[in-house]
Amino acid sequence: MKDTPMTALQGVLDALDLETVEVNLFRGETPMAERDHKRIYGGQVIAQALTAAYRTVSGRTCHSLQAYFIRPGDPKAPVLFEVERSREGRSFTTRRVIAIQHGEQILNLAASFQVDEPGYEHQADMAPAPDPLTVPSDEERMAAAPEAVRTMMGQVERDFAIEMRRMDPVNPFAPEKAPPHQRLWFKAKAPIGDDLVLNQCLLAYATDMSLLATCARPHGVSWFKGVQMASLDHVIWFHRPARMDDWLLYDQDSPWSGGARGFNRGAIFDTAGRLVASVAQEGLIRPTQG
């Protein structure tokens, strides 16, 4: 039986409430509902690592982070986050976070924080998009799918805490070739308040949910058919504060793939058309049989 939206979201929020073990050392868990999966969802480790970095920073906001996925995480075991205080500047602060499990690194993350200051402003325009409430949610699409598909998807679903409404979905069990571009609306499934750090960490959590699939679209493959896929790295630039309990548009494209890797980009806009974040990711996209 699925969790309720608030229960699922609370599980993610609890996972972001890291335990302080020692100065610069924190411990995080995987939500109980996720612990029967084969590996930890990458966005969770990124969000937890960013949370750990924030625990050592005061009065500054993260403007960018870059993470490298090194090993699959074990959902049943806690993760230790060791923060290195790389630099304390007048305007910028830099942190390096190492996520450790079973004595080995599973993720390295570097994050830069900046004091709030004015500057020149411009941004790319958001392309016209339908109202999010006119786009079927993943749950609505799943309810209309055959029972066998619902059973299979139930074994891998990890987005209970985040509602996603895809404008151009593909069938992961029978994918057809499509342009390397996809758009979706997403938001937290329950109110979470206006805490900037929490909203930013939850946004980081959500950015890994669909991006890698973009580079698979022009090849007619998916997680379930014809390819082995895994995130290799993940970069986020935070441009302005955003509320995760309001709708956000995730506009994604993949300009290149080759060498068993695919490159993906994402631009995230709020409903007012303001660009709130940009994302880039390279992932493994290795052809397989079947």
| Residue 281 falls in the annotated catalytic set | yes
User: Does 222 qualify as catalytic in the annotation?
Assistant: no
Please give the span between the terminal C-alpha atoms of the chain, in angstroms, as a whole number: 30
Q: Is residue 11 part of a domain?
A: yes
Beta bridge partners of 61: 114
Asked if residue 123 is part of any domain, the answer here is no
Which of the residues 44, 48, 208, 210 is marked catalytic?
Answer: 208
Instruction: Let me know if residue 124 belongs to a domain.
Output: no
Looking at the structure of the chain, the number of domains it has is 1
Residue positions counted in the chain? 290
Q: Phi-psi region for residue 273, left (φ > 0), alpha (ψ -120 to 50) or beta?
A: left
* CATH number for position 111: 2.40.160.210
- Is 161 among the domain residues? yes
- Is residue 228 situated within a structural domain? yes
Domain residues for the domain of 15 are 5-116+132-287
For residue 251, the cross-strand partners are 183, 267
Question: How far, in Å, CA of 196 to CA of 203, rounded?
Answer: 10
Closest by CA position to 276, among listed 193, 204, 198, 194? 204
* Cα–Cα distance, 136 to 138 (Å, whole number): 7
**208 catalytic, yes or no?**
yes
**Rg of the chain (C-alpha set):** 18
Of the listed 101, 231, 254, 257, which one is catalytic?
231
Residue at 125 is within a domain = no
Task: Answer whether residue 127 is part of any domain.
Answer: no
Within-domain flag for 126? no
Q: What is the chain's pLDDT, residue by residue, as a tens digit (290 residues)?
A: 344 556 889 999 999 999 999 999 999 999 988 888 899 999 999 999 999 999 999 999 999 999 999 999 999 999 999 999 999 999 999 999 999 999 999 999 999 999 999 999 999 999 999 999 999 998 888 777 666 565 555 545 545 799 999 999 998 888 999 999 999 999 999 999 999 999 999 999 999 999 999 999 999 999 888 799 999 999 999 999 999 999 999 999 999 999 999 999 999 999 999 999 999 999 999 998 65
